[in-house]
Chain A
Amino acid sequence: MYRYDEFDATFVRQRVAQFREQVARRLEGGLSEDEFKPLRLMNGLYLQLHAYMLRVAIPYGTLSSRQMHKLADISVKYDKGYGHFTTRQNIQFNWPELKDVPDLLDELADVEMHAIQTSGNCIRNVTADHFAGVAVGEVEDPRPVAELIRQWSSLHPEFTFLPRKFKIAVIGTREDRAVMKSHDIGLRIVRNDGGDTGYEVHVGGGLGRTPMVSRLIRAFLPRPDLLNYLEAIIRVYNLIGRRDNKYKARIKILLHETGKQEVTRLVEKEFDQLKKQNDAVSPAEYERIAAYFQDPAYEDTDFNLDAFDEKRKQHPQFNLWLNSSLSEHRQRGYSIVTVSLKPIGGIPGDASAEQMHGVATCAEKFSLSEIRVSHEQNLVLPFVKKQDLFELWQGLKKLDLATPNVGLASDIIACPGMDYCALATARSIPIAQDISNRFADLERQHDVGELKIKISGCINACGHHHVANIGILGLEKKGVEFYQITMGGEAGENTAIGTVIGRGFSGTEVIDAVETLVDTYVELRQENETFASTYSRLGVTPFKEALYATA
Chain B
Amino acid sequence: MPLLKDGRIVEDHWQFIGDDDDIPVQGDIVVSFERLKNSIEILVMRKGYLGVRLDNDADAHDLAPYINNLALIALEFPAFTDGRAYSQARLITTQLNFTGELRATGNVLADQGVFMSRCGFDAFEIDEHQPPHLWLSLANAMSLAYQKGYRARAGFSPRAVVASRVG
A residues contacting B by CB (< 8 A) are 7, 10-11, 14-15, 17-18, 21-22, 35, 38-39, 121, 148, 151-152, 154-162, 227-228, 231, 235, 238-239, 243, 273, 277-281, 285
Asked if B163 contacts A7 (CB within 8 A), the reply is: yes
Asked if A278 contacts B109 (CB within 8 A), the reply is: no
Q: CB-CB < 8 A to B24: which residues of A?
A: none
Nearest opposing residue in chain A for B152, CB measure: A157
| Given A11-B144, A11-B146, A151-B146, A158-B82 contact (CB < 8 Å) | no
Alpha-carbon distance between A152 and B147 when the two chains are bound, in angstroms? 6
Asked if B84 contacts A278 (CB within 8 A), the reply is: no
Asked if B167 contacts A161 (CB within 8 A), the reply is: no
Q: Contacting B150 at CB < 8 Å: which of A158, A280, A281? A: A158
Q: Contacting A152 at CB < 8 Å: which of B83, B112, B167? A: B167
Asked if A39 contacts B142 (CB within 8 A), the reply is: no
| Given A157-B147, A158-B150, A238-B86 contact (CB < 8 Å) | yes
Q: Report if B63 contacts A (CB, 8 A).
A: no
| Given A157-B119, A239-B84, A279-B148 contact (CB < 8 Å) | yes
Alpha-carbon distance between A57 and B119 when the two chains are bound, in angstroms? 26
Q: CB-CB < 8 A to B142: which residues of A?
A: 11, 14-15, 18, 155
Q: CB-CB < 8 A to B165: which residues of A?
A: 7, 151, 285
Asked if B95 contacts A277 (CB within 8 A), the reply is: yes
Alpha-carbon distance between A17 and B137 when the two chains are bound, in angstroms? 12
| Given A11-B144, A17-B141, A243-B82 contact (CB < 8 Å) | yes
6 contacts between A and B (CB under 8 A): A10-B143, A38-B80, A121-B81, A148-B166, A151-B146, A238-B87
Q: CB-CB < 8 A to B138: which residues of A?
A: 18, 21
Q: Contacting B90 at CB < 8 Å: which of A10, A158, A160, A281? A: A158
Asked if A160 contacts B94 (CB within 8 A), the reply is: no
Q: Is the interface of B mostly helix, strand, loop or mixed?
A: mixed
6 further A-B contacts with Cβ under 8 Å, apart from A157-B145, A159-B86, A239-B59, are A10-B144, A17-B141, A21-B137, A38-B80, A157-B114, A238-B87
Q: Contacting A160 at CB < 8 Å: which of B109, B115, B148, B163? A: B115
Q: CB-CB < 8 A to A158: which residues of B?
A: 83, 86-87, 90, 115, 119, 150
Q: Contacting B95 at CB < 8 Å: which of A18, A231, A273? A: A273
Alpha-carbon distance between A273 and B95 when the two chains are bound, in angstroms? 8
Nearest opposing residue in chain B for A10, CB measure: B144
Q: Report if B118 contacts A (CB, 8 A).
A: yes
Q: Report if B111 contacts A (CB, 8 A).
A: yes
- Convert B40-67 into 0s and 1s, putting 1 for each residue whose CB lies closer than 8 angstroms to a CB of A: 0000000000000000000100000000
Q: CB-CB < 8 A to B105: which residues of A?
A: none
Q: Report if B158 contacts A (CB, 8 A).
A: no
Q: CB-CB < 8 A to A21: which residues of B?
A: 137-138, 141
B residues contacting A by CB (< 8 A) are 59, 80-84, 86-88, 90, 94-95, 109, 111-112, 114-116, 118-119, 137-138, 141-150, 163, 165-167
Alpha-carbon distance between A148 and B165 when the two chains are bound, in angstroms? 11
Q: CB-CB < 8 A to B59: which residues of A?
A: 239
Asked if A14 contacts B86 (CB within 8 A), the reply is: no
Alpha-carbon distance between A11 and B164 when the two chains are bound, in angstroms? 10
Q: CB-CB < 8 A to A162: which residues of B?
A: 83
Alpha-carbon distance between A39 and B138 when the two chains are bound, in angstroms? 13
A165 to chain B, nearest CB (A): 12
Asked if A38 contacts B167 (CB within 8 A), the reply is: no
A233 to chain B, nearest CB (A): 12
Q: CB-CB < 8 A to A10: which residues of B?
A: 143-144
| Given A17-B141, A161-B82, A277-B95, A152-B146 contact (CB < 8 Å) | yes
Asked if A35 contacts B109 (CB within 8 A), the reply is: yes
Asked if A235 contacts B90 (CB within 8 A), the reply is: yes
Asked if A227 contacts B114 (CB within 8 A), the reply is: no
A5 to chain B, nearest CB (A): 10
Asked if A38 contacts B81 (CB within 8 A), the reply is: yes
Q: Which of B88, B114, B146, B150 lies at the interface centre, i.e. has the most chain A CB atoms within 10 A of its CB?
A: B146
Asked if B95 contacts A227 (CB within 8 A), the reply is: no
Q: CB-CB < 8 A to A157: which residues of B?
A: 86, 114-116, 118-119, 145, 147, 150
A306 to chain B, nearest CB (A): 52
Nearest opposing residue in chain A for B164, CB measure: A7
Asked if A285 contacts B166 (CB within 8 A), the reply is: yes
Asked if A227 contacts B118 (CB within 8 A), the reply is: no
Asked if A14 contacts B144 (CB within 8 A), the reply is: yes
Asked if B87 contacts A278 (CB within 8 A), the reply is: no
Alpha-carbon distance between A280 and B59 when the two chains are bound, in angstroms? 26
Q: CB-CB < 8 A to A14: which residues of B?
A: 141-144
A104 to chain B, nearest CB (A): 19
Q: CB-CB < 8 A to A155: which residues of B?
A: 115, 142, 145-146
Nearest opposing residue in chain B for A281, CB measure: B167
Nearest opposing residue in chain B for A120, CB measure: B81
Asked if A228 contacts B86 (CB within 8 A), the reply is: no
Asked if A161 contacts B86 (CB within 8 A), the reply is: yes
Q: CB-CB < 8 A to A39: which residues of B?
A: 111
Q: Contacting A238 at CB < 8 Å: which of B81, B84, B114? A: B84
Alpha-carbon distance between A14 and B144 when the two chains are bound, in angstroms? 8
Q: CB-CB < 8 A to A160: which residues of B?
A: 83, 86, 112, 115
